[in-house]
Amino acid sequence: MVKSKCYAAVDLGAESGRVVVGIYDGSRMTLEEIHRFPNGGTNILGSIYWDPVRLFSEIKTGLAQAVVRFGDALCSVGVDTWGVDYGLLDRTGQLISMPHCYRDPRVDRVMEACGERLSMDELYAGTGIQIMFLNTVFQLFAETQETPQRLEIADQLLFMPDLMNYWLSGVTANEFTIASTSGCMNMRNGQWNDEILTRLGIPPDIFLEPTAPGTTLGPLTEAIETEIQAKLNVVTVGSHDTASAVAGVPAVGSEYAYVSSGTWALLGIETAAPIINDQSQRYNLTNEGGICNTIRVLGNITGMWIVQECRRTFAGEGDNYDYAEITQMAETADPHVAVIDPDYPAFGTPGNMPEKIQDYCRDTGQQVPETRGEILRTAFESMALKYRLVLERLEDLRGGPVEVLHIVGGGSRNRLLNQMVADAINRPVITGPVEATSVGNFLMQMIAGGDLKSLDEGKALVGNSFETAEFEPENPAPWESPFEVLKKNIG
């Protein structure tokens, strides 16, 4: 009888974090969530920060519980998180300040000055990364303008999963997939773009040589081993959660696209090399590092964030709906009342989201959704339509059709949105696994440990281990007119 091997995945999202254990019995994988905890930025004197110390404490709690549950069957741990955010270490290895959240307003105050140093055309040409206010490169430029003393004493920059790995193992590294989200790297060669960094006043020497996913950094520190009573290896997985999610897509061939659906919806294709040209820039598509020497050519779309913010506003008004109730309200509302661009800048910051949606519709000369259900349905439908727009741009860019769209991640649970997407794109949608990010995290640990020979072998394991669901287009015709409205409003 084959003894099961177990792997711990630490998956930190913008809204919550958890420790999940993957159990491999030699032919199939099963998952067990061990510990879940809330996350979110905290506003302190007008700046929004993450609390990495609390997150690390929660990670240790989850690992300790995993050890109690699985003992010496537990082999290793890998950490994945959202992209772009970072911490700065001084020369003694201490964190200089709390990491800023990507929604912190400091970038808004310096964007114009950044453009005077380096045009957005030059920045895209030199990196291949979608121009978004939250990119690390803009955050670091904000540091040069508002808190230059931090950069003066900084010795190393660690992205959020790098920081957690450092505190677990004592080893510093910039894992490639998370580093690739920064807008500081030349994606043609996978190296830091020192010229761009220097022109913006960002010291290039705070970055480390990129480390490949699937690298064993080393064992836990002695202090952590003593605390959780176990010896585990720390492995760099696809440390950007989207990279891990894409690794967990149970797809074969190349005629598919994927969506990693959560607070953000990242829709893309995998390629052997980046696609950086005038057309990709016009479409504002990004080139990020993938697993096993691949590139994820994708669009970052505002996803469930808009619905989450609507829910938060309703709760502040005394109605604390769960997500099933939110979906039901949208499902019973009138369809196609209005269309919003989910990536309109006003929707990217916290606030009264229902009011923002109504203001957008009023400003664009559309019917204004009045009821909560209409507002929510407008948000869901607009996500589906934006998926179609990005999908068509990707097809245009690579010069070939996409036959099927795979949706993974927490958002894939929403059957209403899944059917909307199938109708909007007029193609089949396959959903699952919901836990694709953790699954991809496990696959890289298994490759590092020698339990899998390749990612293809891993994808076969995923297909053998987890259920998927398929949504066929049912009524695509009514989506044509709203799609034209979206394209007109985006310009």
Amino acid at 422: A
Distance CA 207, CA 430 (A): 39
Share of the chain above pLDDT 90, in %: 93
Q: pLDDT for 399-429, tens place per residue?
A: 999 999 999 998 899 999 999 999 999 999 9
For the chain, how are helix, strand and coil distributed in percent, rounded to 5?
45, 20, 35
How far is residue 202's CA from residue 35's CA, in Å, rounded to a whole number? 38
DSSP H helical ranges for 222-292 = 222-228, 241-247, 278-282
Greatest Cα pair distance in the chain: 67
pLDDT over 70 percentage in the chain: 100
- Res. 365 pLDDT band, cuts 50 70 90: very high
Helices 372-398 + 415-425 axis angle, to 10? 50
Please, are residues 234 and 77 in contact by the beta-carbon 8 Å criterion? Answer: yes
Burial class (CB in 10 A: 0-12, 13-18, 19+), 421: buried
What pLDDT is attached to residue 81?
A: 98
Q: Which is catalytic among the residues 241, 343, 423, 451?
A: 241
Q: Does 3 have pLDDT greater than 80?
A: no
Evaluate whether 165 touches 218 at the Cβ level (below 8 Å).
no
- Triad 466, 468, 471: Cα angle to 5°: 175
Residue 38 CA: distances (Å) to CA of 55, 159, 226:
9, 20, 26
Strands 429-431 and 469-471: antiparallel
Tell me the pLDDT of the chain averaged across its residues.
96
Q: For tokens 């891990």, name the residue.
A: 244
CB atoms closer than 10 angstroms to residue 210 = 18
What pLDDT sits at residue 1?
A: 37
| pLDDT (tens digit per residue) in 177-224 | 999 999 999 999 999 999 999 999 999 999 999 999 999 999 999 999
Domains of the chain as residue ranges with CATH? 5-236 (3.30.420.40), 249-432+453-491 (3.30.420.40)
- Whether 241 is a known active-site residue: answer yes
Would you call 191 helix, strand, or coil by DSSP? strand
461 Cβ contact list (under 8 Å, min separation 6): 24, 28, 29, 443, 452
Q: Taking phi first (over 0 means left), then psi (-120 to 50 degrees means alpha), and beta for anything else, what does residue 214 get?
A: left
pTM: 0.89
Helices (H), 249-352: 278-282, 305-316, 323-331
Q: 134 and 186 in contact (C-beta within 8 Å)?
A: no
